[in-house]
């Protein structure tokens, strides 16, 4: 491989210089060496080029060690002179050409390898084994795994004791013998806080939940920092361990925080041809009472210019307070008003709730609340009034690598909402689930979603309307109009269109990356709604375009109906983030 960069440099005036890089070996080696090279044409002087050339040996050597090449031959010549042989006081006043020649040499494999002592739970990386390619990164990974194992068992100051790395060139092997020094078992000490503005240090300590007096563990220390970050009131959080040990066995910590801007405004919009436009906005005040409380006002409108429905809108206010019942439990107070103008009914509903969110682990979250709801509306049978007390419960297990553009692992959510009805509302329970899975296949991602739910114990017309199920639209079946699939019942001689008490839907996507920023998606959605097992089914399919923005991909989906009689013609969906 060879590339030439035209460069203008000089100490006393500009001079032309060529940089040439010749590398033998396979494509991967050539790319790695090219990426590691520090020579460039960034308007540098001759002295800059000389300094860069001197450092080039170490940079390229490190890159080749990472690839398992421990006998490379590297030459860096400045106008025909080896850069390593040029004394600093003899640095050139001008540079005409720099030629780098790299022979990676043979690939080494691991000979005898050992990292000890280890905890019983420690697993070394598979690549750190006799006969495997001797990538330098595997040695570091093995050392890190060994130290992390001891730190999880309370040995916070575990480190490398002795190490012996031997490259045997005749046999082309690398042997590694590393001894770890676990150090003493330590306990969590005190937490010093700096950088705060309005929030008191005691409140920050309560949010952090450092388990003072308990045995140290690396995962628990990580959770301390995560608790502060997830509060949403800090723009940055740095948690550091003390360099020394406070006798006899105490390890103190320091947290440096920067409070985020107190207020935030957000606005969002989506559009679908049959669903119409959707708008949403929010105003957030962080730390409104000085204890990291978050007050938020939200508003949204949907089905604007929708085909069969009027405009739906809602207004809400919420107050969240982290660390209300311990560092992992947050308080949430909410109130909201919603107006629904559906083809089958119209209703106004007021809801208030008080509840808690529990963070069991960084990926497992549960919520519980007490909610009251009161609504009035009208349908084909006339006016109705519905009110209820409910106990919404949910559990979410989110292992996705990204919320806006996931590529692997899964997301599981289950909800249970028992309710006691008043007026024309029965007593019953609503169950629902949402399961999503993602798998990389080459440069593509396969995504699968399964949704379902049921209402138990309540008659359909005496179930809170917001708890019934519909299918169709961007959140369920693309290609079918929004909530176009429901059910119909006969009440007092009138046919009433209404949602169902049973629901199932599935979506399958194949996401193919075309360039770093552009991707295409093929998808198929299907859903069904029923009452007492009697219902209907519809499906849609289409193609989508994704453009990565850094905040998440901009989504454009084109879909058509492929089964059922609820839709006809092309549907267009535009939004931010993947469909699921």
pLDDT tens by residue, 325-370? 999 999 999 999 999 888 778 899 999 999 999 999 989 999 999 9
The reported pTM is 0.79
Residue identified by tokens 């106008």 is 79
- Measured in degrees and rounded to the nearest 5, phi and psi for residue 220 equal -70, -35
Q: How confident is the model at residue 17 (pLDDT cuts 50, 70, 90)?
A: low
Of 43, 69, 103, the one marking the end of a domain is 103
Which residue(s) pair with 54 in the sheet?
A: none
Q: Do 350 and 337 have their domain in common?
A: yes
In whole angstroms, what is the distance from residue 45 CA to residue 10 CA? 5
The CATH number of the domain where 137 resides is what? 3.10.20
| Mean pLDDT of all residues in 291-314 | 88
Q: Domains in the chain: how many in total?
A: 4
Q: Do 456 and 494 have their domain in common?
A: yes
**Residue, of 470 and 2, whose pLDDT is higher:** 470
Q: How confident is the model at residue 400 (pLDDT cuts 50, 70, 90)?
A: very high
Q: Give percent above pLDDT 70 in the chain.
A: 96
Q: Which residues contact 79 (CB under 8 A, 6 or more apart)?
A: 92, 95, 96, 97
Q: Do 254 and 379 have their domain in common?
A: no
| Mean pLDDT of all residues in 223-234 | 93
In whole angstroms, what is the distance from residue 239 CA to residue 251 CA? 13
**Residue, of 241 and 7, whose pLDDT is higher:** 241
Q: Do 426 and 283 have their domain in common?
A: yes
Burial letters 130-145, b for 16+ CB under 10 A, else e: eeeebbbebbeebbeb
Q: Give the pLDDT confidence score for residue 307 in this predicted structure.
A: 63
Q: Do 288 and 424 have their domain in common?
A: yes
Q: Do 254 and 267 have their domain in common?
A: no
Smallest CA-to-CA distance from 148 within 100, 93, 216, 55 is with 216
Confidence check: pLDDT of 15 > 70: no
Q: Give the pLDDT confidence score for residue 482 in this predicted structure.
A: 83
Q: Do 201 and 148 have their domain in common?
A: no
Total Cβ atoms within 10 A of residue 42? 10
The CATH number of the domain where 541 resides is what? 2.40.160.50
In whole angstroms, what is the distance from residue 333 CA to residue 372 CA? 12
Q: How confident is the model at residue 183 (pLDDT cuts 50, 70, 90)?
A: very high
Q: Do 177 and 194 have their domain in common?
A: no
Q: Do 334 and 355 have their domain in common?
A: yes
Q: Give the pLDDT confidence score for residue 16 in this predicted structure.
A: 52
Between β-strands 97-103 and 15-23, what pairing exists: parallel, antiparallel or unpaired? parallel
Between β-strands 250-259 and 187-194, what pairing exists: parallel, antiparallel or unpaired? parallel
The whole-chain average pLDDT of the chain stands at 91
pLDDT in tens, 18-29: 899 999 988 989
The SS3 assignment for 198 reads coil
Of 234, 259, 284, the one marking the end of a domain is 259
- The separation between the first and the last C-alpha atoms of the chain, rounded to the nearest angstrom, is 43
Burial letters 456-472, b for 16+ CB under 10 A, else e: eebebbebbbebbbbbb
Q: Do 391 and 524 have their domain in common?
A: yes
| 3-class secondary structure per residue, 242-272 | CCCCECCCEEEEEEEEEECCCEEEEEEEEEE
> Which has the minimum average pLDDT: 145-159, 390-404, 409-423, 460-474?
460-474
| Mean pLDDT of all residues in 274-290 | 89
Q: Do 298 and 341 have their domain in common?
A: yes
Of 211, 238, 259, the one marking the end of a domain is 259
Could you list the residue range(s) of the whole structural domain that residue 121 is in? 109-181
Q: Give the pLDDT confidence score for residue 8 in this predicted structure.
A: 32
pLDDT in tens, 99-122: 999 999 999 999 999 999 999 999
The CATH number of the domain where 223 resides is what? 3.10.20.310
Q: Do 63 and 168 have their domain in common?
A: no
Q: How confident is the model at residue 137 (pLDDT cuts 50, 70, 90)?
A: very high
């Amino acid at each position: 491989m060879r590339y030439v960069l035209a460069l203008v440099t000089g100490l006393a005036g500009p001079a032309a210089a060529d940089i040439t890089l010749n590398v033998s070996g396979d494509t991967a080696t050539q790319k790695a060496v090219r990426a590691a090279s520090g020579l460039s044409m960034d308007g540098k002087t001759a002295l800059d080029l000389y300094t860069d050339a001197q450092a080039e040996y170490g940079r390229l050597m490190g890159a080749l060690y990472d690839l398992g090449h421990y006998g490379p031959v590297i030459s860096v010549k400045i106008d025909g002179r080896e850069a390593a042989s040029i004394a600093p006081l003899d640095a050139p006043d001008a540079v005409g050409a720099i030629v780098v020649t790299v022979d990676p040499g043979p690939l080494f494999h691991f000979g005898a390898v050992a990292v000890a002592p280890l905890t019983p739970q420690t697993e070394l990386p598979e690549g750190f084994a006799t006969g495997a390619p001797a990538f330098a990164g595997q040695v570091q990974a093995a050392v890190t795994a060994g130290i992390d194992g001891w730190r999880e068992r309370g040995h916070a100051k575990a480190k490398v004791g002795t190490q012996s790395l031997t490259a045997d060139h005749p046999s082309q092997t690398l042997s590694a013998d590393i001894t770890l020094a676990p150090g003493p078992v330590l306990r969590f000490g005190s937490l010093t806080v700096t950088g705060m503005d309005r929030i008191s240090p005691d409140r920050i300590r309560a949010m952090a939940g450092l388990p003072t007096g308990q045995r140290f563990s690396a995962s628990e220390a990580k959770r301390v920092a995560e608790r502060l970050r997830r509060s949403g009131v800090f723009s940055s959080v740095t948690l550091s361990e003390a360099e020394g040990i406070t006798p006899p066995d105490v390890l103190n910590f320091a947290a440096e925080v920067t409070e985020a801007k107190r207020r935030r405004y957000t606005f969002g919009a989506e559009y679908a041809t049959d669903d119409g436009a959707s708008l949403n906005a929010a105003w957030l005040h962080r730390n409104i009472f000085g204890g990291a409380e978050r007050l938020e006002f939200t508003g949204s409108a949907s089905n604007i210019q929708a085909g069969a429905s009027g405009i739906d809108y809602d207004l809400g206010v919420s107050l969240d307070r982290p660390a209300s019942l311990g560092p992992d439990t947050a308080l949430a107070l909410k109130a909201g008003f919603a107006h629904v103008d559906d083809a089958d009914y119209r209703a106004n509903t007021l809801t208030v709730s008080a509840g808690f969110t529990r963070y069991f682990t960084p990926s497992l979250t549960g919520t519980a609340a007490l909610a009251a709801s009161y609504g009035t509306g009208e349908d084909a049978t006339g006016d109705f009034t519905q009110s209820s007390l409910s106990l919404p419960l949910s559990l979410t297990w989110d292992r996705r690598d990204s919320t806006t553009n996931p590529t692997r692992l899964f997301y599981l959510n289950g909800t249970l909402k028992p309710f006691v009805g008043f007026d024309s509302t029965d007593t019953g329970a609503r169950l629902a689930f949402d399961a999503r899975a993602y798998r990389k296949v080459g440069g593509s991602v396969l995504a699968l979603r399964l949704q379902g739910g049921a209402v138990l114990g309540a008659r359909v017309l005496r179930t809170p309307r917001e708890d019934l199920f519909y299918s169709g639209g961007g959140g369920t079946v693309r290609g079918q109009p929004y909530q176009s699939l429901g059910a119909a019942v006969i009440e007092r001689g009138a046919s009433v269109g209404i949602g169902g008490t049973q629901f199932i839907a599935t979506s399958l996507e194949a996401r193919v990356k075309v360039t770093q920023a552009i991707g295409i998606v093929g998808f198929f959605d299907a859903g069904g709604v029923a009452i007492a097992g009697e219902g209907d089914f519809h499906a849609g399919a289409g193609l989508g375009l994704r453009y990565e923005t850094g905040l998440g991909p901009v989504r454009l989906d084109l879909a058509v109906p492929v089964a059922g009689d609820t839709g006809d013609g092309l549907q267009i969906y535009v939004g931010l983030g993947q469909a699921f």
